[in-house]
Amino acid sequence: MECTVNHARAHSHEMRLLTGGVDLFAAMVVAMDAAQHEVLLETYIFAFAGAGADVAHALMRAAQRGVRVCVVVDGVGTGELPAVWADQFAQVGVQVRVYAPAVGLGFWLPSRWRRLHRKLCVVDTTVVFCGGINILDDYLDPHVQGLLTAPRLDYAVSVRGPLVVAARATMAQLWSRIEAVRELRSQDLGSALDALRGAKQRLHLPARGETQLVLRDNVRHRAHIERTYRKAIGASRQDIIVASAYFFPGLRLRRALLMAARRGVRVRLLLQGQYEYFLPYRAARQLYGQLMAAGVEIYEYHASYLHAKVAVIDGKWLTVGSSNLDPFSLLLAREANVVAHDAQMAQALQASLVSAIEQGAVRVDPHAYLHRGWRERAVDALASALLRFGVFLTGKRY
As beta bridge partners, residue 241 has 268, 312
63 contacts 143 by C-beta, under 8 angstroms? no
- Is position 141 annotated as part of the catalytic site? no
Neighbours of 238 (CB within 10 A): 11
Set 309, 316, 342, 380: catalytic member: 309
Neighbours of 221 (CB within 10 A): 18
- Is position 231 annotated as part of the catalytic site? no
Set 23, 54, 74, 124: catalytic member: 124
Give the CA distances from residue 200 to residues 180, 232, 255, in Å, rounded to whole numbers and listed in that order. 11, 31, 37
Quick one: which of 55, 68, 65, 131 has its CA closest to 95?
A: 68
As beta bridge partners, residue 362 has 300
Which stretches of the chain are assigned E, i.e. beta strand? 2-5, 14-19, 38-43, 68-74, 95-99, 119-123, 127-131, 140-141, 146-147, 155-160, 211-216, 239-244, 266-272, 297-301, 309-313, 317-321, 335-341, 361-363
Q: What is the DSSP letter of 109?
A: S
- Is position 316 annotated as part of the catalytic site? no
Set 13, 23, 117, 138: catalytic member: 117
- Is position 194 annotated as part of the catalytic site? no
Set 239, 314, 341, 396: catalytic member: 314
Set 13, 23, 74, 119: catalytic member: 119
Whether the CA torsion 316, 321, 324, 330 is positive or negative: it is negative
Neighbours of 177 (CB within 10 A): 16
Q: Which residues are catalytic?
A: 117, 119, 124, 307, 309, 314
